[in-house]
C-alpha cells in the first residue's frame, strides 16, 4: 500500500467525471487500498479516486472510528434518498475549509465491493453525508458548489493547535 498525493482545489481533474470500472481486479483493489491508507493518513472520513488523480468510480469511506474496515465501493450510485440535513462539511481537497451544505438525511447506495460482488449500503446522518459527498466527486461536483452562501470558513490549523 502507498499514500498517494491528494489533489487540492484548483486542480482541474477535480471537475472531471470519473469513468465506470469495467473489471474489479488486483489493480483496482490496490488503488482502493492506497486510497484507504491515504484517507486515514489525512484524518479523513471519505476519499474518491479522482481526489488522488484517478478518473475511476471508486470511493472509500470510514465514519466509524472504531477500527472496523472501511467501505470500499466500486461504481457507487445513490438509488434512493430521504430527508435533508444541514451539515458543516469539509473536504480533503479543500484543506482547512468548511461550509454548511444540505445533504440527504438517508441514502441507499448500490455498488460493487472490492471483490466485484454487488452490495447495497443504507446510510444515515454522517454516513449518508459522506457517501453523497464522495459520489458527487465522481461526477466532478465539489462541496463548495453546494454550500450555503456566506458559510465558507478557513480554519488556520496553527491557531487551532494553540487553543
Copy the grid coordinates of residue 159.
Answer: 491557531
| CA max distance for the chain | 49
Strand partners, 86: 102
Among 115, 90, 92, 136, residue whose Cα is nearest residue 32 = 115
**Cβ burial, residue 7 (10 Å; 0-12/13-18/19+):** middle
Residue 115 CB coordination number (10 Å): 10
d(CA 40, CA 61): 10
Of these residues, 86, 88, 106, 134, which one is catalytic?
134
DSSP string for 131-144: HHHHHHHHTT--GG
134 flagged as catalytic? yes
Three-state DSSP class for 78?
A: strand
Residues annotated catalytic, as ranges: 134
Amino acid at each position: 500500500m502507498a499514500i498517494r498525493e491528494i489533489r487540492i482545489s484548483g486542480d482541474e481533474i477535480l471537475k472531471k467525471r470519473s469513468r465506470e470500472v469495467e473489471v474489479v481486479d488486483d489493480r483496482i483493489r490496490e488503488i482502493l487500498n492506497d486510497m484507504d491508507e491515504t484517507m486515514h493518513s489525512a484524518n479523513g472520513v471519505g476519499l474518491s479516486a479522482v481526489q488522488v488523480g484517478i478518473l475511476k468510480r471508486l470511493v472509500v469511506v470510514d465514519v466509524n472510528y472504531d477500527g472496523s474496515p472501511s467501505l470500499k465501493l466500486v461504481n457507487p450510485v445513490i438509488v434512493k434518498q430521504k430527508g435533508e440535513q444541514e451539515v458543516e462539511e469539509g473536504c480533503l481537497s479543500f484543506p482547512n475549509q468548511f461550509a454548511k451544505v444540505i445533504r440527504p438525511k438517508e441514502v441507499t447506495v448500490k455498488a460493487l465491493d472490492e471483490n466485484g460482488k454487488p452490495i447495497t449500503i443504507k446510510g444515515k446522518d454522517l454516513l449518508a453525508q459522506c457517501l453523497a459527498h464522495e459520489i458527487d466527486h465522481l461526477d466532478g461536483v465539489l462541496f463548495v458548489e453546494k454550500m450555503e452562501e456566506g458559510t465558507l470558513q478557513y480554519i488556520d490549523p496553527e491557531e487551532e493547535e494553540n487553543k
